[in-house]
Amino acid sequence: MVYNRILHVDMDAFFASVEQLDHPEWRDVALIVGGRPEERGVVASCSYEARRFGVRAGMPMRRAAQLCPHAIFAPGRRWRYSEISAQLYELLLGFTPFVEMASIDEAFLDLSGVQDADEPIKLAQALKASIRNELGLTASVGIASNMFLAKLASDLQKPDGLTVMPVDAAAIKSFLAPLPIRRVWGVGTKTEALLHDYGFKSIGDLQASSPELLSQLLGNAAGRHLFELAHGRDERQVEWQPALEKSLSKETTFSEDCGDMQQARQYLRRLCEEVGARLRRQKRLAGAAHIKLRYSDFRTITRQMPLKPVTCSDRVLLRAADQLFDAVEKKAALRLIGFGVSKIVEETAAVSEPQEQLLLFPEKEQLEAGEAAARDASLDRAVDQLRERFGDDILRRG
Ligand code: DCP
Ligand code: CA
């Protein structure tokens, strides 16, 4: 049976909204991200307040400044958008493993297996609430029977929209008919202009054409594909990644900037233990550890070190976190602190690989290292079991 099993989520005014999140004084005003008004660049993103004046993504900066001279112009911070994009991906994986990030701010979810028609809608509402609560941003969602229709739907009621497409083929066809042809996925400015020249204005015009005619205009594959899409038919599958991460990290943003470095260190150690517990649950070992600090002025640094031999022991991870933290500047207050591990291998793979580092130890130390590792493992196991029974706060190491 055909049913609505694909969900498309697209963040609203993404770069502009992230800037407004980080700069509260820029909220509710016209904000243009992409550079200075006198520069040669184009608008990357703009707030909905700026859109009211006709400003659009891709427009030359100077033109935007003419339309909306009172706007605030921000340069754009790629690393920050990528960071939030990664958080979005993590958040979506909490709903289903079948997630494909289609660009920095949009993703498809395959909900195959849902039991009733209401389920995707409830899920979409929960997902929007999480994005709002956890990321502080809004997104628009489309739900449909395939990827093309879901993407189209998410765009229909922006911002903060939720649009559900019909499932019945005839209803879909009439839904699409009045929309302009540029709504079809893959119809860019050039294709649009060419099709306009031949009198195709609405998707209905394409529906009334034929695959043969469209193939003559656009080439065989593209023409047939366009004809299918115009009828709301799309066979593509969501390409999700198996969710075994090569790195694992946890971070926390302080509700108020933290100037007390002892307290910051406690937070770091706590994150470190959470990462350790997760590694052990997955029966994996890490080959490197890193910390991440963001200062109150948003300057962000990461420092990392190798872990040899690979480990999942809290004792070793905590020592690494402490060493890394000892070595960084602590004059400015912190906005965020994080701990993570990378170069992760499966426990079984690590056992079968020769531990070069260990073989370099003199015999006695080698023995001691082995004993220490065994002691660590049994202590960690006991701690994990206690935490599982009594919750995370039962044991904290000093
Ligand atoms: N982007 C860009 N240059 C463009 C278009 C987009 O750098 N010409 C970047 C900035 C956008 C982000 O990609 O914030 C996502 O693109 P979208 O097309 O989804 O646009 P927005 O998220 O800004 O707005 P909307 O609310 O319409 O999705
Ligand atoms: Ca977007």
pTM metric for this prediction: 0.67
Ligand 1 near 10 CB (within 6 A): yes
Alpha carbon of 215 to ligand 2 centroid (Å): 31
Say if residue 242 is preceded by a cis peptide, omega within 30 of 0: no
**Mutate which of 85, 88, 105 to test ligand 1's pocket (most atoms within 8 Å of Cβ)?**
105
Which string of DSSP letters, residue by residue, matches 138-168? -EEEEEESSHHHHHHHHTTT-SS-EEE---S
* DSSP state letter for 242: P
Residues annotated as part of the active site? 106
Among the four given CATH numbers 3.30.428.10, 1.10.150.20, 1.10.3720.10, 3.30.70.980, the one describing domain 171-230: 1.10.150.20
The fold of the 247-360 domain, in CATH, is: Dna Ligase; domain 1 (3.30.1490)
Output the tens digit of pLDDT for each of the chain's 398 residues: 667 999 999 999 999 999 999 999 999 999 999 988 888 899 999 999 999 999 999 999 999 999 999 999 999 998 899 889 989 998 998 888 889 999 999 999 999 877 788 889 999 999 999 999 999 999 999 999 999 999 999 999 999 999 999 999 999 999 999 999 999 998 999 999 999 999 999 999 999 999 999 999 999 999 999 999 999 999 999 988 765 667 889 999 998 999 999 999 999 999 999 999 999 988 889 999 999 999 998 888 989 999 988 899 999 999 999 999 999 988 899 999 999 998 888 876 554 444 444 444 445 555 566 677 777 888 888 878 777 777 666 555 54
The pLDDT assigned to 282 comes to: 84
Ligand 1 near 15 CB (within 6 A): yes
**Mutate which of 8, 9, 11, 14 to test ligand 1's pocket (most atoms within 8 Å of Cβ)?**
14
The pLDDT assigned to 369 comes to: 65
| Residue identifier of the C-alpha nearest atom 4 of ligand 1 | 44
Looking at the CA of 9, name the nearest ligand. Answer: 2
**Sign of the dihedral defined by the CA atoms of residues 253, 255, 259, 265, in that order:** negative
Residues contacting 9, CB < 8 A, separation 6+:
92, 106, 107, 109, 127, 131, 139, 140, 141, 154
Compute the distance between CA of residue 224 and CA of residue 229 in angstroms, rounded to an integer.
9
171-230 and 247-360 have identical folds? no
Q: Which residue has the tokens 């754009």?
A: 76
Per the CB < 8 A criterion, the answer to whether 315 and 307 are in contact is no
Q: From the CA of 15, give the closest atom in ligand 1.
A: 14
Ligand 1 near 57 CB (within 6 A): yes
Identify residue 88 by its one-letter amino acid code.
L
Alpha carbon of 104 to ligand 1 centroid (Å): 9
Ligand 1 near 107 CB (within 6 A): no
Q: Which of 265, 241, 240 is nearest to 252 (CA)?
A: 265
Residue boundaries of the structural domains of the chain: 171-230, 247-360
